[in-house]
Amino acid sequence: MIELTRVSKRFGDETAVNDISLRVPKGEFCALVGTSGCGKSTTLRMINRLIEHSEGDITLDGQSIGAYDPVRLRRRIGYVIQHTGLFPHWNVVRNIGLVPRLLKWSTADVQARVEELMDLLGLPVVEFSHKYPHQLSGGQAQRVGVARALAADPDILLMDEPFGALDPITREKLQEELAKLQARLHKTVVFVTHDMDEALKLADHLVVMREGRIIQQGSPLALLQHPSDPFVESMLGGLERGLKQAALTRVKDHMTSMGPTLPAQSRIPVNFSLRQALSMMLRDHTDRLTVVDQHDVPIGDLSLRRVIKEAQLDKGSIRE
């Protein structure tokens, strides 16, 4: 879907992006992470030609972006930024319907699409359709921004620090909603963030950048297990890498199915992460948890000793 081949961007004598290559297959969620000024936002904006690249080639579906009219290119790519970019003098319905109107959809089709997206993103039509951006909370405004980006049903979604200005509780909630939305829609997403926990939570493919270069890329689990250098290791949390890896692992992957009897102990839902399980063990001063299904029915047992033993076996197999 998206491929960058030896792409560079210079602003005068300064090189912002230096000879990077990256491939994002259709339906994949790719997160670009790194410290401020590393070139991740510049990389994102080169994809929809908000910034023109200096060298290399960028293709969409095998066709160079230089072959596209820039305006038409941007209309087929959803774009979400940190401060939403909503038009302050337009209400929610008009803001969301912007691109479909530019594409000359019928009024009925625009209205139907706007209402569909408002429902999908938890914005009741009766309550929000006539509100203006200044009447929305940060989380509500960001939902409207995402809805506008999705309005014309683009294959590609570019997101530049979309949750960076939100409080932690709202940010976590929107991360969860975006993950559910992606599981349903399977868009090709390129997501820029400086928050590694956010990237690990959302991404299929993780790209770590530094000083305009890609230092390492791969699945979140692969990078956590094998960081290429001390910088990547520090970006991934240093000594907390094990906990971050545990956050990507489900309880169901480590539990023992329930036998005839199961001792009374603290309970944890089967789809919780191993990190949440370890936190509960510390909180409740126990090394075992009862695993329950969605109906709170016990289905298994999670033992800290078993988790550690499995980790030792995994480490041994990796060395071999």
Q: Does 169 lie in the same domain as 108?
A: yes
Number of structural domains (the chain) is 2
Q: Does 272 lie in the same domain as 185?
A: no
Q: At 165, is the secondary structure helix, strand, or coil?
A: coil
- Rounded to whole angstroms, how far apart are CA atoms 157 and 99? 14
Q: Does 257 lie in the same domain as 134?
A: no
Q: Which of 47-51, 99-103, 119-123, 316-320 has the lowest mean pLDDT?
A: 316-320
Quickly list DSSP for 168-220: HHHHHHHHHHHHHHHHHH--EEEEE-S-HHHHHHH-SEEEEEETTEEEEEE-H
pLDDT at residue 168 is higher than 80: yes
Q: Does 141 lie in the same domain as 72?
A: yes
Q: Does 285 lie in the same domain as 209?
A: no
- Buried b vs exposed e over 72-99: b needs ≥16 C-beta within 10 Å? ebbbbbbbbbbebebeeeebbbbbbbbb
- Rounded to whole angstroms, how far apart are CA atoms 218 and 271? 24
Mean pLDDT across the chain, nearest whole number?
90
pLDDT at residue 130 is higher than 70: yes
Rg (CA), the chain: 22
pLDDT at residue 318 is higher than 50: no
- Rounded to whole angstroms, how far apart are CA atoms 223 and 233? 8
Domain C-terminal end among 186, 209, 239: 239
According to DSSP, residue 238 is labeled G
Q: Which of 52-66, 67-81, 251-265 has the lowest mean pLDDT?
A: 251-265
Domain containing residue 118:
2-239
- Rounded to whole angstroms, how far apart are CA atoms 6 and 212? 12
pLDDT at residue number 320 = 43
pTM metric for this prediction: 0.85
According to DSSP, residue 104 is labeled T
Q: Does 210 lie in the same domain as 88?
A: yes
Q: Does 48 lie in the same domain as 194?
A: yes
Q: What is the CATH number of the domain that holds 254?
A: 3.10.580.10
Q: What is the pLDDT of residues 189-237, one digit of tens each?
A: 999 999 999 999 999 999 999 999 999 999 999 999 899 999 999 999 8
pLDDT at residue 108 is higher than 60: yes
Q: What is the pLDDT of residues 299-308, one digit of tens each?
A: 888 888 888 8
- Which position has the higher pLDDT, 252 or 92? 92
Q: Does 221 lie in the same domain as 116?
A: yes
- Rounded to whole angstroms, how far apart are CA atoms 284 and 184? 36
pLDDT at residue number 260 = 47
Q: Does 78 lie in the same domain as 217?
A: yes
pLDDT at residue number 316 = 52
Average pLDDT over residues 25-31: 96
Q: What is the CATH number of the domain that holds 219?
A: 3.40.50.300
pLDDT at residue number 216 = 96
pLDDT at residue 82 is higher than 90: no
Q: Does 35 lie in the same domain as 154?
A: yes
Residue written as token pair 């940010």: 171
- Rounded to whole angstroms, how far apart are CA atoms 230 and 212? 17
pLDDT at residue number 311 = 73
pLDDT at residue number 305 = 87
pLDDT at residue 154 is higher than 50: yes
Q: Does 76 lie in the same domain as 7?
A: yes
Q: What is the pLDDT of residues 233-290, one digit of tens each?
A: 999 988 888 888 888 888 888 888 875 455 567 889 988 888 889 999 888 888 889 8
Quickly list DSSP for 276-316: HHHHHHHHHT-SEEEEE-TTS-EEEEEEHHHHHHHHHHHHH
Is residue 112 assigned to a domain?
Answer: yes
Counting every residue written for the chain, the total comes to 320
Is residue 244 assigned to a domain?
Answer: no
